[in-house]
Amino acid sequence: MSEIAMPTPNPHILRGRDQIISRLISELGEAMVIHDKNETIAYECDGLSAYRCPPLAVILPGNTEEVVNALKLCSELGLPVIPRGSGTSLSGGALPTEDSIVIGVSRMNEVLEVDYDSRIIRVQSGITNLGVSGEVAGNEFFYAPDPSSQLACAIAGNIAMNSGGAHCLKYGVTTNNLLGVKMVLMNGDIIEIGGGHLDPAGLDLLGVICGSEGQFGIVTEATLKILRKPEGARPILLGFDSSEVAGACVSDIIKAGVLPVAMEFMDGPAIIACERFAKAGYPTDVDALLIVEVEGSPGEIDEQLTKIKTICARHDPAVMRESESAVQSDAIWKGRKAAFGAMGQIADYMCMDGTIPTSQLPFVLGRMQEMAKEYGLAVANVFHAGDGNLHPLILYNANTPGDLEKCEEFGAEILKLCVEVGGCLTGEHGVGIEKRDLMGHQFSEIDMEMQMRVKDVFDPQWLLNPAKVFPITITHSRRNNDQQYKAA
């Protein structure tokens, strides 16, 4: 069994299972409730698949009113609720407990309004990230945040986790592209915040809702900013003999006033794995690869790439390969985009997600390889270099007893290192359960207390995704579910 503990399920709820399910069905309708154990198993985990637990039942509402009814009922009965988008969270944000009800928004995936002149789209929250961009692509628009899971992940989950992606150096993350939400609170109240206008009328509640990991309410509709596509984009592939030099090159490019739309970094082990898997034509005799992509008109692209090449030349690169065609651009990105699949072919892996000040890049990468030796586990790095968001992939073997635990311990040490050098535990995946117990390394008790008091406002019963984000030892008295459950 692995290390991250979930609270003991409430035995009263487990014993009341049949009555609870009858109550859910009688009030919400048979079609909305999934309770067969062969079916609830599809909801037992998210992208952090080392942890699994089927929920007591799953509710799939078709509109905001149905979410209201579902939450009201769960609130009345005192049942923990796990909100779920598409279940792609890498931190266990959608992991159920045995005594919980999953409420999924996957049936709510309509586009409600597109207003190009005001640069907004209003959608139901179950729509996928790529579905949003797809809706407006015909008019040369796009939705900027682009997490790797964008084909599958739902906007609801993006909002819950404040998801990022490869292009956020220029365009920001979800919170910078979210203009409004319709959200249902645990007690069934609907609140509407923001919309097509740009500034909040009072406190910036939208800002604190985004990234609250499904602990404040269930977002059913969202107003998102859409942007006109640039005229073009072109990457350049840069290879270096050491990660330190590649890191220095990243910093020099930024200092020179060039703002690439993406700067992706791969270290030696990652390059070899990706090349073997994707055959993208990457040089395998270098220690670090950078993919730097710039946008603009043909002239602007040329000028930026020329600047980048001049800076890069000062760092004595082993490879400098500018894309000259769409085919070449695809090839440059192909390996990077296949990174996670490539790693999966070699071994089981855990993907970490700390952020560091970019000035600490060489030190942290060096220290990570030392730690890899200490733990006897391999680590490969594929990450967003421009913003310092690391994704160390720690390889382990799930069939070797003790390997997962060792891997988690190593991961925790990496994240602590990120905090020590001035960074943070998670840049874009969220805390979930994965980093929950490390929160004390980044925050003091009062820092966390202040955050939890905000949850107290939105969800005084602490029923929404209750065992996530904060160490369960400090949330115990607030969750206090034993006394909350009311027999159905």
Residues 24-43 that bind another protein (CB under 8 A): none
Identify whether the C-beta of residue 465 lies closer than 8 Å to the C-beta of residue 82: yes
- One character per residue 141-160, x = contact with another protein (rule: CB under 8 A): x-------------------
Piece of 266-274, 331-339, 350-358, 471-479 that binds another protein (CB under 8 A): 350-358
Residues 177-206 that bind another protein (CB under 8 A): 189-193, 195-206
- Report the distance separating Cα 217 and Cα 89, nearest Å: 17
**DSSP one-letter code for 149:** T
Task: In angstroms, give the least distance from the CB of 54 to another protein.
Answer: 27
- Report the distance separating Cα 444 and Cα 454, nearest Å: 16
Q: Which is nearer to another protein, 142 or 333 (CB)?
A: 142
Pick the binder of another protein from 8, 447, 473, 480 (CB under 8 A).
447
CA angle, 31 then 104 then 149, to 5°: 135
Task: In angstroms, give the least distance from the CB of 430 to another protein.
Answer: 6
- Report the distance separating Cα 185 and Cα 67, nearest Å: 9
Q: Which is nearer to another protein, 38 or 444 (CB)?
A: 444
- Report the distance separating Cα 266 and Cα 246, nearest Å: 10
Q: Does 363 bind another protein (CB under 8 A)?
A: no
Q: What is the DSSP string of 176-239?
A: GTEEEEEEE-TTS-EEEEE-SSSS-SSS-HHHHHTTSTTSS-EEEEEEEE-EEPPSEEEEEEEE
Pick the binder of another protein from 173, 261, 312, 378 (CB under 8 A).
173
Say if residue 423 is exposed, middle or buried (CB neighbours under 10 Å; 0-12, 13-18, 19+). Answer: buried
Question: What number of chain residues touch another protein (CB under 8 A)?
Answer: 94
Query: Can you say how many angstroms the Cα of residue 58 is from the centroid of all Cα atoms in its chain?
Result: 22
Say if residue 8 is exposed, middle or buried (CB neighbours under 10 Å; 0-12, 13-18, 19+). Answer: exposed
Pick the binder of another protein from 210, 246, 294, 395 (CB under 8 A).
210
Q: Does 51 bind another protein (CB under 8 A)?
A: no
Site of tokens 């602490």: 462
Q: Does 477 bind another protein (CB under 8 A)?
A: no
Pick the binder of another protein from 30, 117, 324, 374 (CB under 8 A).
117
Residues 269-328 that bind another protein (CB under 8 A): 296-297, 299-300, 303-304
Site of tokens 């003991």: 8
Piece of 54-62, 248-256, 336-344, 471-479 that binds another protein (CB under 8 A): 248-256
Q: Does 114 bind another protein (CB under 8 A)?
A: no
Rg, the chain, Cα only? 23
* 236 beta partners: 292, 322
Q: Does 439 bind another protein (CB under 8 A)?
A: yes
Piece of 23-31, 49-57, 161-169, 274-282 that binds another protein (CB under 8 A): 161-169
- One character per residue 384-403, x = contact with another protein (rule: CB under 8 A): x--xxx--------------
Task: In angstroms, give the least distance from the CB of 190 to another protein.
Answer: 7
Pick the binder of another protein from 36, 116, 400, 482 (CB under 8 A).
116
Q: Does 440 bind another protein (CB under 8 A)?
A: no
- Report the distance separating Cα 87 and Cα 94, nearest Å: 6
Task: In angstroms, give the least distance from the CB of 296 to another protein.
Answer: 7
Task: In angstroms, give the least distance from the CB of 223 to another protein.
Answer: 9
Q: Which is nearer to another protein, 175 or 242 (CB)?
A: 175
Q: Does 49 bind another protein (CB under 8 A)?
A: no
Q: Which is nearer to another protein, 270 or 448 (CB)?
A: 448
CB contact set of 231 (below 8 Å; sequence gap of 6+): 295, 296, 297, 298, 300
Residues 410-429 that bind another protein (CB under 8 A): 422-429
Pairing type for strands 57-59 and 101-104 reads parallel
